[in-house]
Each structure stands twice: as structure tokens, then as C-alpha cells.
């Protein structure tokens, strides 16, 4: 249930951040042209990369 709640919090439809936002405005160009969106994409990518890196390192330690 916690994972489902965390996933729902990450969805764009969970909360529209600022006025005049609609689902039609969610394009790659918009996401990469707004500094606050770029920051969130970078933070998300870093979190995913860290999790993947730790899992790979943990699996290598188990194999040795």
C-alpha cells in the first residue's frame, strides 16, 4: 500500500503544480524548458540511478 501511495504521489495527475497547467501542457518541450521541472526530472533520475547502482553492488557482493 505504501508503494502505491508513493507511486500516486509521483503521477502528474495527482497535483497540478501551478495555474494554467493542464494535461495538454505536459509535453517534453515544456518539461525541459521549465527549471523547476528540470530539477524534478534530475532528482528523479538520480534517485533511480542510486537505487539501481546499490542493487547492482549488492548483487555483486553476494556473488563473491
pLDDT for 53 beyond 90: yes
Q: What is the pLDDT of residues 6-35, one digit of tens each?
A: 776 666 554 555 665 666 666 788 778 888
pLDDT band for position 47 (50/70/90)?
A: very high
Report the pLDDT value the prediction gives residue 52, as an integer from 0 to 100: 95
Domain that holds residue 32: 28-64
**How far is it, in rounded angstroms, from Cα 27 to Cα 3?**
26
Domain count, the chain: 1
What pLDDT is attached to residue 40?
A: 86
> pTM higher than 0.75 for the full model?
no
When comparing pLDDT for 16 and 39, which is higher? 39
In a domain, 44, yes or no: yes
How long, in residues, is the chain?
A: 64
In angstroms, rounded to a whole number, what is the distance separating the alpha carbons of residues 10 and 44?
10
Instruction: Give a yes or no: residue 10 inside a domain.
Output: no
The answer to whether the beta carbons of residues 38 and 31 sit under 8 Å apart is: yes
Amino acid at each position: 500500500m505504501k508503494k502505491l501511495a508513493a507511486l500516486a504521489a509521483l503521477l502528474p495527475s495527482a497535483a497540478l503544480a501551478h495555474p494554467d497547467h493542464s494535461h495538454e501542457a505536459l509535453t517534453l518541450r515544456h518539461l525541459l524548458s521549465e527549471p523547476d521541472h528540470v530539477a524534478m526530472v534530475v532528482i528523479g533520475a538520480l534517485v533511480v540511478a542510486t537505487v539501481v547502482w546499490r542493487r547492482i553492488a549488492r548483487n555483486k557482493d553476494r556473488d563473491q
